[in-house]
Amino acid sequence: MSSASNNSFILDVRGLTKVFGGLTAVNDVTLQIPRQGIVSVIGPNGAGKTTFFNMITGIYEPTTGFIELDGVNLVGLRPDQVTSAGIARTFQNIRLFASMDCQENVMVGRHSRLKAGYIDSLFRTKRFYESEQEARDVANMMLDFVGLGQFRYEMATNLPYGDQRKLEIARALATSPKLVLLDEPAAGMNPRETEELKSLIRRIRDELGVTVCLIEHDMRLVMTLSEYITVLNYGSKLAEGLPHEIRNNPQVMEAYLGRGAVAGEYGKEAVAGMQEGV
Amino acid sequence: MTAIRPGSQPPTAAPDRTWWLIIVGIITSSLLMLTQEPTWRAALPGGIAKFLTNPLVGSLLLTLFLSNLLFAFRWKAAAWAKALVFFGSLFIILPWAGRDNTAIFDLAIQIGIFAALALGLNIVVGLAGLLDLGYIAFFAVGAYTWGIFGSGQFAKILGYFADNGGPVGGGLRYLLGGLLLTILGAVVMSIISKVKGKWNTGQRWANFLAIMGLVAGIIMSLRGVLILMSPQAQSLMSGVNPNFFWLFLVLALFAAASVGVIIGLPVLKLKGDYLAIITLGLGEVIRVLANNLSTYSNGSQGITPIVSPTVPFMNAIAGALGFSPDQYNLFFLYFLVIAIIAVIILANVRLDRSRIGRAWVAIREDEVAAQAMGVPLMQTKLIAFATGASFAGIMGVIFAAKQTFISPESFILTQSTSILSMVVLGGLGSIPGVILGAAIVTILNISLLPSLGEATAALKLPQQINPAQLQRLVFGTILVMMMLFRPEGMLPSARQQRLMHEDDDPSDNETPQDSLKHSAVEPAAEVYSPGTASIKDDQRTGGAR
Amino acid sequence: MKRAKGNVGVRLIGVVAALLVGAAQAQTAQTTIKMASLSPLSGPQSDVGTQISNGARLAVNEYQGQFAKLGLNLSLQPYDDQADPTTGTAAARKIIADSSILALVGPLNSGVAIPVSVALAPSHVALVSPSATANVLTERGLKNTNRIVPRDDAQGPAGADFMLSKLKAKKVYMLNDKTAYGEGLAGEVEKALRAKGVQIVGSEGTEEKSNFGSIIQKISLSKPDVIYFGGVYSQVGVFAKQLREKGITIPLVGGDAYDSADLLSIAGAGANNIYFTTIVAPASEVPAAKPLAALYQKTFGKPIQGFGIFGYDAAKVVLQGMLDAARSGKASGQAPTRAQVENAIRRVRATGLMSGTVQFNSVGDRRAARMYIMKVNQGKVRLETTLDVKAPRP
Amino acid sequence: MDLSTLGPFLVGVITSGLVLGFVYAIIALGYTMVYGVLQLINFAHSEVFVTGAVVGFEIFRVLEPSPMNGYLKLLIALIAAMVASGMLNVIIERLAYRPLRNAPRLVPLITAIGVSLILQDVIRIIEGFQGRFDLTYKLPPAFNTNFCGADSSCEALGTALTKVGISLQIKEVIVVAVSLLSLALLNYLVNSTKLGRAIRAVAQDRVTAGLMGIDSNRIIALTFLIGGALGGISGVLFGMKFGTINAYSGFDPGIIAFTAAVLGGIGSIPGAVLGGLVLGVIQNLIGVTNVLGSILNIANLQAIDASYQRIGAFLVLVLILIFKPTGLLGRSNTEKV
């Protein structure tokens, strides 16, 4: 397998397909994410976006296709190995560790980067203290970065919804990723929180140098934030391009609007968002 | 859930109980000594002496005395007073009473053994959230490790190989062949493990064959060693030199940990109750194997007598303190158990507050998220399993030495559930909690409940409601009541406490910091928290993904 | 939270106070001496365990008068071992601590008796087990350990002899219950049978209490002419019932743990052609058996069974030893020491027992015992033949 | 030993395994139904089942002298056992499990163990007052005769069956018939009634079911009632098949039946039945492995005898779960991530 020839792409996904039983959830999707970019994957509900993420992060194994991160093959790796390789993620339905405070939650994210092992922990070696210090420092730094510094010792589940999402982002960032995948980060947020999120995502890229890829339904956010957009529909790639190209793509409009009465409101809202978010 | 409890800040509201602690310590100690020390008892009026020697009264006073340790640990008091009561009780009063009544030593050692088991299981169940119902198997592995070598059983095994293993020279061939296979298997395995990504069918088969070769190789080399050693059977008739005990303490640790890994490898992929029933089954498998493989374990007849090491300086101390020679062994084991418990607690605390401990809790809370954060599931679970098992293995050795006799009867299924009840009763994930749970259950089972029957033996009660026969009923009732009224356990861990009482009225120990935080997170009260909800979803899906 | 902890102490004291009221009861008068019994009183084996402590109680009642004449107030102190070695050891330590206890009847199981005897030995608390048959129990030569049942290597060959001489066994199917008792006994029987050239067509153990389907299939396939099952009546009864229901009528032979009326009721119509070896004489042979049975029924509201008689006999041996020691002692009202009792029990000659006269050899096995081979047929137990066994060593 | 005897031998082993399997299956249903709605291993179910067995014993004992038709006696015994066990299960749920609905999952598990210990002693005490410990079923004599045996109208069928290795007693046929009937009823109840729908809804998602207007407490109580009633049936069947039970004899079959429920896929009703049958047959096959080993001349198999029956069930479970982690018929709950 050749490594991605063009070094300007950090993630190189080719021909990714996932079949569940008889259902093809993701069909031959090819996607390149530019280094230090902010890209979005959008599409109506059930378009296969989350399945796509789950394949990249090793939760599902692709039926066919290949995934390379900076020239390193990811197919067949376990999720924790993918994380070590440099991809971190957040979840659509927030998955924080309920009995831990915020700092501990983020410290778990540092797990794969710490050097202290079992024996170090048992005998409290120098390396253990260094590792713990590192974990704590990184956790505090990331909490500060997402603006949760003052809730360090708060139970994660006691945070407001929007802050829980930020905490998940902090936890993902603590893994020192090259690429972070955000699964609907703005879901359930009010407009003010969404604005904060937008600047947070920009800072992730600008200040930390981490590439960001997000799945999002909030088209205002997607259109203003993304540098490049991929649209999935029924598991296949429908379109890709710059935000204004997507906005003016009739097929995309069709996909969002032409879905009958039930999806109608949602589709109209999405399309309106696309047009508005300039 | 209006307020947040501080994680580890001590409540400031509790009154200082230094003097209470001292007074209670003195009173309970003197009461205990009054019941045990013959000269003191002789000085009492007959009626009172009679009363104090009633089995139930004696057992209750002993329990009261032991609760001193709890008070010293829990009450807010000056450090010197805590240390005085704690170490005074443990190192002076208890051995003193034990000298007069070895039942107290026996109980204390048994509490220690179960506390270690509960601490081990606590890592598996309490921290890593893996429900293990066959935990007693690891205890059995430890007990048999020393039981076989610390008795004539090993000579019997060698004798068997002398008769059935062929010529001694064949042993060398077995050994060399076995080693070759082992090395070959290991090399192949290490080569295959270097392969990144998904293995193809050929690689899988190669790996499988390599594992089989490794196992077969180890078995062959062991067989070879046994055949080679078979002429030595005569010299080992009463077991290996008792001083090898220390070596076997370590060997049992590794043996139990290895069995933990071997059992864990195929089953740790499973979740929740699937894991529970499979561990229950594998625990039974170990017991039934011990019962059936008579060549090695002497089957249902059990192994006896098992020796203990003699430590001259401990014996000298015991002798100087007026212990009789037949009590030396208990004296030694008592202090050994205390030392081992101390080490185990230390290990437990250190692992809990480390990267590994965080990973365990993360897995318990949400496997998917933990793995996505870079925690390798199998490896972390296996470490939990092996660590828990190793504690049980060490204590198995002590158990074998204390009992001088082991048989599969001691490792039945109900022992596993009993240890689990200690962990839950004390407080999942809480180190002081599970020790307290172990103490409560052990005291109930071998001191308080039996004494209830012993004390009422003279009463003319109808056979069917004789308390001597109602141990299960009483124990069951206590279990149910404790769970209903204190589901988080006697001394819940800070984590568990916070989770279980989020909606309690916090007024009883609110600190100034609390009210500060209070206002900061007020909106949380209204917000549906998907973080916790997803965990419940998670738990409901019984099977592995 | 801390406050709640304090409350535990307070609550504990409350519980203590409440229980003390019930527990406080003092006896006065003469010097009190006790005999302990140790057997499972709770849990699955409580039925047999209770029989033992009941038998011991009858013996104590019987001997109280004789001790009173010596100024000694005798009572029984029952302990529960739950058939668990660890609990048994803990109880043994309590027995050591109660200085008024001079000796012990029990334990029921060899697995408990072995560690218990080791714990008791340094304190010279003698024990007489009513039912533990494992060879190793007395093989270790502890001074304090005795038993009234012949050990496996005495009882086993007796059973084998019987099968060979009376049942003309040529092919035997061996079964055991995978406990120290059943497997030990069946092992000795098998050894004796093999030595005499009998073909063993099957030999296995089973912990199953109810499902003997596959074993019965195998028996009907291998067509033995006798089955030996080393086990306890409750399990064997169910086996016998299922065996007969499948139309297999060959003799079923076992040891003294068959000795219970419940064997008949459990096996029901299957209680045919079953033989067992025991040391307890049938009521027809011993005149005292009838009044004992009546007394047991009156005291405990149940008929006496094998283990009740074992318990009674073992207790009488202990009490006779205690009495001997007390009589050889000095002043009236002075209790003998444990060591004296230990010696006296080893030297005892107890007569008038349901199992004949008991005398111990150097390791605490009966020098000689008469084994009765009983036949269960048509819902009746009757004496088939007797066999005298001697201890394997003097 | 030749192969012509091997066939009938194996058929006999498998038949008796199937009969046993039906008993396991009905016990397993009690576990799986409760597990379905509460995700709780109801350790007390083994005693619920023993209670049914005891009630059945009492009915047969009291009715022994009566000239009533045997099948009528059986019906009375079954109904009484169902009522008693069902009620007991409901009471247990109300007192011991309901207050712990929101506690961590291990807490009700320990409570269940406690309840199990309590019930063991209570059953022993109650029967002990009448001087009984081991309870032996006094069945109508007709039940103990062979199915289609000599002098019956279907003697020819009986002879034919015996020839292929099947020899059943009337009571064993009853065990199978009652099991099948209960399964059919349960299937109807769960799949075709409103109550069944509610039970499935609660099992799927208690919170959502509550939002849809289902009183989940009531449904859980009803599930315990049904599970208990099944326990009662299985108790009577167990007592009939094996003849004797006591207060403590629920433990072993309870563990095996729970294993069966897991083997079939816990929470799945057909799974529990399949698991019970598989385990019944496999246990019996493991019991005769040494004979097969000697016939096939494989030395290693000859060491595996009836003493491995018990763990055989567990090893089969391990093997199956390694390859199918959700059990034979378990739904694979792909988690939404």
Give me the pLDDT at residue A259, please: 54
CB-CB: which of B498, B530, B535 is closest to A155?
Answer: B498
Question: With touching defined as 3+ CB pairs under 8 A, do chains C and A touch?
Answer: no
Predicted local confidence at residue B500, as pLDDT: 59
D253-268 average pLDDT score: 91
Angle CA A263–A265–A269, to nearest 5:
115
User: Which of D114, D118, D266 is opposite residue B273, by nearest beta carbon?
Assistant: D266
Chain D residues in contact with C237 by the CB 8 A cut-off are: 134, 136, 244
Question: CA triplet B140, B143, B145: central angle to 5 degrees?
Answer: 105
CATH of span C153-278+373-390:
3.40.50.2300
pTM (predicted TM-score): 0.90
| pLDDT, mean of each 10-residue run, chain A (278 residues) | 60 92 89 93 88 92 92 90 94 91 94 91 93 94 94 90 93 95 90 92 94 92 92 91 90 74 64 71
Q: Is C42 on the interface with B (CB under 8 A)?
A: yes
Are D89 and D228 contacting, i.e. CB atoms less than 8 angstroms apart? yes
Residues in chain A: 278
* Residue written as token pair 């407009």: A191
Q: Can C34-150+287-360 and C153-278+373-390 be said to share one CATH topology?
A: yes
Q: Could you tell me which chain D residue has the CA closest to the CA of A58? A: D337
* Residue C243 confidence class, pLDDT cut points 50, 70, 90: very high
Which helix H or strand E contains C278, and what residues bound it? strand C274-278
Instruction: Identify the H or E element spanning B466.
Output: none
pLDDT bin (cut points 50, 70, 90) of residue C6 is very low
Chain B CB within 8 Å of residue A66 CB: no
HEC letters along B126-145: HHCCCCCCCCHHHHHHHHHH
CA distance D137 to B154: 48
Q: Pick from D27, D5, D70, D4: which is nearest to D280 by CA?
A: D27
In CATH terms, the superfamily for domain C34-150+287-360 is Response regulator (3.40.50.2300)
Q: Give yes or no for a contact between C357 and C350, defined as CB atoms under 8 angstroms apart.
A: yes
Fold that domain A31-60+72-86+179-278 belongs to in CATH = Rossmann fold (3.40.50)
Q: What share of chain A is helix, strand, coil (3-state, %, to 5)?
A: 45, 25, 30
Whether residue B538 is predicted with pLDDT greater than 80 in this model: the reply is no
Q: What's the rounded mean pLDDT across residues C324-343? A: 85
Is the per-residue pLDDT at D62 higher than 90? yes
pLDDT at A195: 92
Task: Check C241 against D249: CB less than 8 A apart.
Answer: no
Contact list in D for residue C215 (CB cut-off 8 A) is: 287, 306
At residue C4 the predicted structure's pLDDT band, cuts being 50, 70 and 90, is: very low
pLDDT band at B137 (very low <50, low <70, confident <90, very high): very high
Q: Do A108 and B375 touch (CB under 8 A)?
A: yes
pLDDT at C21 over 50: no
How are the residues of chain B apportioned to helix, strand and coil, as percentages rounded to the nearest 5?
A: 80, 0, 20
Look at residue D115 and tell me whether its pLDDT is greater than 60: yes
Q: Is A197 left (phi over 0), alpha (psi -120 to 50) or beta?
A: alpha
Q: Does the beta carbon of C308 lie under 8 angstroms from any beta carbon of chain B? A: no
Q: Subunits touching C (CB < 8 Å, at least 3 pairs)?
A: B, D
Of B63, B404, B459, the CB nearest to C115: B404
If you measure CA to CA, which chain A residue comes closest to D335? A59
B515 has a pLDDT exceeding 50: no
**Is the Cβ pair C238, D244 closer than 8 Å?**
yes
Q: Is there a contact between B471 and C42 if contact means CB atoms under 8 Å apart?
A: yes
Report, as an integer, the average pLDDT of B40-47: 80
Task: List the domain boundaries for chain A.
Answer: 31-60+72-86+179-278, 99-176
Q: Identify the pLDDT of residue D280.
A: 94
Local confidence band at D334 (pLDDT 50, 70, 90 cut-offs):
low
C-alpha torsion angle, residues D191, D192, D196, D202 (rounded to 10) = 70
Give yes or no for B261 touching A (CB within 8 A).
Answer: no
CA distance A116 to A67: 30
What CA–CA distance (Å, rounded) separates C342 from C196?
40
Between C75 and D300, whose confidence is greater?
C75
CA distance D337 to chain A (A): 7
Confidence of residue C25 (pLDDT cuts 50, 70, 90): very low
What are the extents of the domains in chain C? 34-150+287-360, 153-278+373-390
Q: Is C87 on the interface with B (CB under 8 A)?
A: yes
Angle, CA A221 vertex, CA A217 and CA A226 arms, to 5° = 100
Mean pLDDT score of chain B: 83
Which is more confidently placed, B197 or D19?
A: D19
Lowest-pLDDT choice from C3-12, C365-374, D118-127, D151-160: C3-12
Among all chains, which residue has been given the structure tokens 């260094």? A130
A122 touches chain B (CB under 8 A): yes
Answer yes or no: is pLDDT of B10 > 60.
no
CB < 8 Å to A92, chain D: 337
* Interchain contact B510–D (C-beta under 8 A): no
Distance of CA D47 to the CA centre of its chain: 12
What confidence category does residue B544 fall into, taking pLDDT thresholds of 50, 70 and 90? very low
- Chain A contact partners (≥3 CB pairs within 8 A): B, D
Determine whether the interchain pair C86/B446 forms a contact, defined as Cβ–Cβ distance below 8 Å.
Answer: yes
At C125-142, the pLDDT tens digits run 999 999 999 999 998 889
Distance from CA of B107 to the nearest CA of C (A): 7
**What is the distance between the alpha carbons of residues B299 and B297, in angstroms, rounded to a whole number?**
5
Spell out where A85-191 has E strands.
87-89, 179-183
pLDDT tier, B516 (very low <50, low <70, confident <90, very high otherwise): very low
Q: Which DSSP string do the residues of B258-317 spell out, in sequence order?
A: HHHHHHHHHHTTS-HHHHHHHHHHHHHHHHHHHHH-HHHH-GGG-B-PPP----HHHHHH
A45 touching D, CB under 8 A? no
At B9 the pLDDT is 45
Please say if the pLDDT value at position D85 is more than 50.
Answer: yes
Helix, strand, or coil here: A184?
coil
b/e string for C164-186 if b means 16 or more Cβ within 10 A? bebbebeebbbbbbbbbbbbbbb
- List of chain D residues whose C-beta atoms are within 8 Å of the C-beta of residue C241: 243-244
Cα Rg of chain A (Å, integer): 19
**Other chains touching B, judged by 3 or more CB pairs under 8 Å:** A, C, D
Look at D244 and C43 and tell me if their CB atoms are within 8 Å.
Answer: no
Contacts of B446 (CB under 8 A, 6+ apart): B107, B110, C86, C87, C90, C91
pLDDT at C7 over 90: no
Higher per-residue pLDDT: B255 or C1:
B255
Name residues 137-156 of chain A within 8 A of B (Cβ): 150-151, 153-156
d(CA D160, CA D171): 19
Length of chain C: 394
Average pLDDT of C358-366? 92
In angstroms, the CA B362 to CA A107 distance is 10
Between D335 and C91, the more confident residue is C91
CB–CB of D12/D165 below 8 Å?
Answer: yes
CA-CA-CA-CA dihedral for B137, B143, B145, B146, to nearest 10: 180
SS3 A194: helix
Give B375-414 pLDDT, tens digit per residue: 999 999 999 999 999 999 999 999 999 999 999 989 999 8
pLDDT (0 to 100) of residue C143: 93
Any residues with CB less than 8 A from the CB of B90 and at least 6 apart, and which?
B69, B338
Residue B378: the pLDDT is 92
Physical contact, D and B (3 or more Cβ pairs within 8 A): yes
How many contacts (CB atoms, under 8 Å) link B and C? 195
Mutate to test the interface with C, among D19, D61, D134, D234 (most CBs of C within 10 A): D134
**Neighboring chain A residues of D336 at a CB cutoff of 8 Å:** 93
State the pLDDT confidence band at B521, using cuts at 50, 70 and 90: very low
The region of weakest confidence among B313-322, C139-148, C384-393 is C384-393
**pLDDT at residue B374 is higher than 80:** yes
The ipTM, to two decimals, is 0.90
pLDDT of residue B527: 27
Give per-residue pLDDT as tens, B414-435: 899 999 999 999 999 899 999 9
pLDDT, residue D335, reads 55
Residues from chain A that touch D104, judged by Cβ atoms under 8 A, are none
Specify whether the CB–CB gap between C132 and C109 falls below 8 A: yes
Q: Which residues of A100-130 are buried (b: 16+ CB within 10 A; e: fewer)?
A: bbbbbbbbbbbbbbbebbeebbbeeeebbee
Residues of chain B contacting residue D311, judged by C-beta atoms under 8 Å apart: 281, 284-285, 288-289
Band (B151; pLDDT cuts 50, 70, 90) = very high
Nearest beta carbon to residue C266 from set D238, D244, D284: D244
Is the Cβ pair B281, D321 closer than 8 Å?
no
